[in-house]
Structure 1
Amino acid sequence: MKHTPGERPTDPTRRALLTATAGVGAALMAGCARGAAPGAPAPTPTAAGSASPTAGAGGITPGAMTLFQDPAYNFSALLALGASGAGAAEVGEVLTAVNTVNAAGLSPQTYVETFRKLGDRLLRPPPGAPADDQTKRFRALRAAQYYGQALFFVLGSDAPGSEEQLYRSGRKAWDAFCDLCEPAPVKAQVPYGTTPLPVWFFRPDTSGARRPTVILTNGSDGQNVDMWTYGVPAALERGWNALVYDGPGQGRLLFVDRIVFTPTWEKVVTPLVDWLTARSDVDPDRIALTGLSMAGDLAPRAAAFESRIAALVAMPGCVDPWLGFPPEIRRILTPDKQQTNDIWNNEVVPELPPAAAATMKKRFEPFSIPAMLEARQGRLFTDFYTPATRIQALKITDVVPLIKAPTLVLDYEGEQFYPGQPREMYNALTSPKDYVRLTAQEGAQLHCSPMAPQLHCEVVFDWLQQTLQGS
């Protein structure tokens, strides 16, 4: 990793889902967690019609790191494989699933079927003696991971209407895991508008000791199990509390309650902080906030307006998620809604191959409930303008200088979603700051270091410990 020491200047100073299509020069790309966008090098189209940094020998995922030739699926499987270190997957299970999919022929259908069946199997009793609680616990956690793998690609499968049920299966597995933790996390509903935020508050023990606490913020298409991999055990092992939650556009609020992302994420984080500070086992002066994937935009926005955040980590730094889409897509959006939608429906949609259409369905559903419901019926949305403007509204370029909390900005070699944006955020910060770039030499390349979440957590929590030790 490469580290830039923090300085305080005197002046203010986001799996590969890029899909090239014929006609209109449209290239489609996704925005976080389960997909990959082009990195600094020009992306290379594949036979499946997607594009990403070159895989295979000499590329960003050389040799054994290439599980699938299609980089979208490869990135997704690498996330599962990397989660094994936290007990949120099993190496043999993931690799067997990869072999099964490749033997059947890689497609959304084979991927979804394989991982859904794996999740189902893990929720049944294992062979041999009756399972004890520890066995049930971690089988449920792995099931949550595999349901999440299937969920990401289900809109491109033969059964897009099963999306909500697939989400519910993963959520049921996650809750089963949590109920068997010792101690079990406190479950609560934190007030937020007319729909409360579900939270899971993990503690090292039930002593009631006042402890530093980290709020773990997910990206646009991650599931709760990802927050386990990227923070909960690391926090508990260091004597920290950890809060996992669903915000608008995420988890239950998206798939069940049908609430999309909001650009004013401070209105999400502030009630979480209110809930935490009311607890006697939380040190109100040592509350940290992390943001994974697209939440590298959401968490900084919240920290700019919520003064009780004592430390912030952007993983990676993201200042404008709309720039994660290629110019050909961004040019569809004009100031006029009717003109924009005419371009989309008359010039772009007729030329989209199925893989590209599935990509756009997935990318836009967290920003448009009509788009999500149409996708579940196997149709592509007709209103491009509304979700596009919602993504555009996430831009925080002017907000970053307002952040006062010490901030760690992570970057990744081969960053696919937001190349260049972590450095841009770092440069714009006026608070005490640090910049760390995780590299291929460490096996920590690509967006969110999918193959090295343990190293990722070491970097983050070492920094948090040092930053807040004197608070």
Structure 2
Amino acid sequence: MTLFQDPGFNFSGLLALGASGYGAGEVGEVLTAANAINKAGLSAQTYTQTFKKLGDQLLKTPEGGESGRETTRSRALRAAQYYAQALFFVLGSDDPGSEEQLYRAGRDAWDTFCRMCDPAPVRDSVPYGQTPLPVWFFRQNDSGGRRPTVILTNGSDGQNVDMWTYGVSAALERGWNALVYDGPGQGQLLFVDRVTFTPRWETVVTPLVDWLVARSDVDADKIALTGLSMGGDLAPRAAAFEQRIAALVAMPGTLTPWLGFPQQIREILTPDKDETNNIWNREVVPELPPAAAATIKKRMEPFSVQAMLDAREGKMFTDFYTPAQRIRALDISNVVGRIKAPTLVLDYEFEQFYPGQPRQMFDKLTAPKEYVKLTAATGAQLHCSPMAPQEHCEVVFDWLQETLSAR
């Protein structure tokens, strides 16, 4: 299970490799890229450069003539994956200022894929504050019959292509509708519109539910909500207040995203903004190795536009206090007990970001609940089971179908 010796790069590479089961990657392409990166010397630069080049190649006309519709669709989906791989590490590369351009390349590939689907997903913008939420509504066909529908919530740094791997394809196979969206701090809203995360995720999900229940092809009594990665915090928060959610899946259950940051980073946060930022700028930043600096830039940018803009200029942000407090505000420990919808909490053997939190969430739930831990016995270990998304989706959708069949 080792593509790269560095755990961060390895986890991302495994996500691309595992996505091959749903067509959002190709085993040979990913392994060839991994070999090329290792041969050149693993770094953010070689990783970003190699996967961007792979995405570019897939969108070019292949040798021998024009691609057919299905080939174009397939290649665009894989390109979206590889651009997402490059995007994740671009802030540590030689060209951090290309972040938005790289996001747009991945988004264009995703939109090309969507246009080629049959039927193509319904595209729309759902009202949210001053910045509408882009949505993609996937259906199995145009029959118009009311169907169960799943709202798929991404995490703090995933892209739309991840929602294909962790829900859309599996939903369509089972006759469900699936809604993909960018919320604040995600995708278009972050990289283009510059809107950061909100701790009140119910204000994001409620307009999505409003949009769905107005459709004639949605069974309003069978709307499920899932949350992947940090979405395992966002989706439960929304379900605690949005009572039209019929079933909830936290993947994994996450109560306190702040605990996913290294302890030595968390310890510098004090109640005083000036004191905190003085410690950050005088004691922490000068000692950060380049790789660690790139990681902290990436993890903080969804919570601070200034941190994102500084990172694109190759600089470290100076205000640590503000984004840190925004992350702390995502703690949902005190609202989980409000959830009424039946809830599935997933956990993963060797969970590296939120260890112990799924079981803690499960214990706090008062709604009908189930806890499932995916393990190394079937290669489903690590955060979000990067090597086993098909098994992951089987667990989720078998539970959803059984749970909603009685409604």
SS in 1 for 2:178: strand
Residue 421 of structure 1 is matched in structure 2 by 357
Q: Does 1:269 align with 2:198?
A: no
More helix by share: 2
Structure 2 residue aligned with 1:444, among 367, 374, 380? 380
Cα distance in 1 between the residues matched to 2:122 and 2:165? 19
Q: 1:117 corresponds to which letter in structure 2? A: K
Q: 2:353 corresponds to which letter in structure 1? A: F
SS in 1 for 2:194: coil
Cα distance in 2 between the residues matched to 1:349 and 1:314? 34
Residue 57 of structure 1 is matched in structure 2 by none
Q: Does 1:432 align with 2:368?
A: yes
Normalising by the residue count of structure 2, what TM-score does the alignment of the two structures yield? 1.00
Q: What does residue range 363-442 of structure 1 map to in structure 2 within 5 Å?
A: 363-442=299-378
267-276 or 328-337, which moves further after superposition? Answer: 328-337
Q: Does 1:307 align with 2:216?
A: no
Q: 1:344 corresponds to which letter in structure 2? A: W
Q: 1:377 corresponds to which letter in structure 2? A: E
Cα distance in 2 between the residues matched to 1:430 and 1:125? 55
Q: 1:388 corresponds to which letter in structure 2? A: A
CA positional deviation for 1:326: 2.3
SS in 2 for 1:231: helix
CA positional deviation for 1:69: 0.7
Q: Does 1:225 align with 2:172?
A: no
Residue 83 of structure 2 is matched in structure 1 by 147
Structure 2 residue aligned with 1:467, among 394, 399, 403? 403
Residue 84 of structure 1 is matched in structure 2 by 20
Runs of 4+ in structure 1 off by over 3 angstroms are none
Residue 289 of structure 1 is matched in structure 2 by 225
CA-to-partner distance for each residue in 1:82-129, whole Å, 9 max, x for gaps?
000000000000000001001111111100000000000000112334
Cα distance in 2 between the residues matched to 1:73 and 1:389? 27
The gaps in structure 1 that reach 5 residues or longer are 1-64
Q: 1:433 corresponds to which letter in structure 2? A: K
Cα distance in 2 between the residues matched to 1:103 and 1:178? 35
The gaps in structure 2 that reach 5 residues or longer are none
Q: What does residue range 16-95 of structure 1 map to in structure 2 within 5 Å?
A: 65-95=1-31
Residue 93 of structure 2 is matched in structure 1 by 157
Cα distance in 1 between the residues matched to 2:72 and 2:261? 41
Residue 150 of structure 2 is matched in structure 1 by 214
Q: Does 1:190 align with 2:115?
A: no
Q: Does 1:168 align with 2:98?
A: no
CA-to-partner distance for each residue in 1:275-329, whole Å, 9 max, x for gaps?
0000000000000000000000000000000000000000000000001112211
Cα distance in 2 between the residues matched to 1:445 and 1:270? 33
Cα distance in 1 between the residues matched to 2:330 and 2:398? 29
Cα distance in 2 between the residues matched to 1:143 and 1:349? 35
Q: 2:286 corresponds to which letter in structure 1? A: P
Residue 286 of structure 2 is matched in structure 1 by 350
Residue 266 of structure 2 is matched in structure 1 by 330
CA positional deviation for 1:131: 1.1
Cα distance in 1 between the residues matched to 2:110 and 2:245? 27
Cα distance in 2 between the residues matched to 1:325 and 1:93? 32
Structure 2 residue aligned with 1:126, among 37, 58, 62? 62
Q: 1:369 corresponds to which letter in structure 2? A: V
Cα distance in 2 between the residues matched to 1:464 and 1:344? 45
Structure 1 residue aligned with 2:256, among 313, 317, 320? 320
Cα distance in 2 between the residues matched to 1:128 and 1:400? 57
Residue 6 of structure 1 is matched in structure 2 by none
Q: 2:140 corresponds to which letter in structure 1? A: P
Aligned Cα root-mean-square deviation (Å): 0.5
| Structure of greater relative contact order (alpha carbons < 8 Å, 6+ residues apart) | 1
Q: 1:94 corresponds to which letter in structure 2? A: V
Percent sequence identity over aligned pairs: 77
Cα distance in 2 between the residues matched to 1:219 and 1:233? 18
Cα distance in 2 between the residues matched to 1:409 and 1:201? 25
SS in 1 for 2:331: coil
CA-to-partner distance for each residue in 1:261-282, whole Å, 9 max, x for gaps?
0000000000000000000000
Q: Paired residues, what number?
A: 407
Residue 109 of structure 1 is matched in structure 2 by 45
SS in 1 for 2:240: helix
Q: 1:353 corresponds to which letter in structure 2? A: P
CA-to-partner distance for each residue in 1:390-436, whole Å, 9 max, x for gaps?
00000000010100000000000000010000000000000000000
SS in 2 for 1:98: helix
Cα distance in 2 between the residues matched to 1:329 and 1:376? 22
319-328 or 198-207, which moves further after superposition? Answer: 319-328
Q: 2:321 corresponds to which letter in structure 1? A: Y
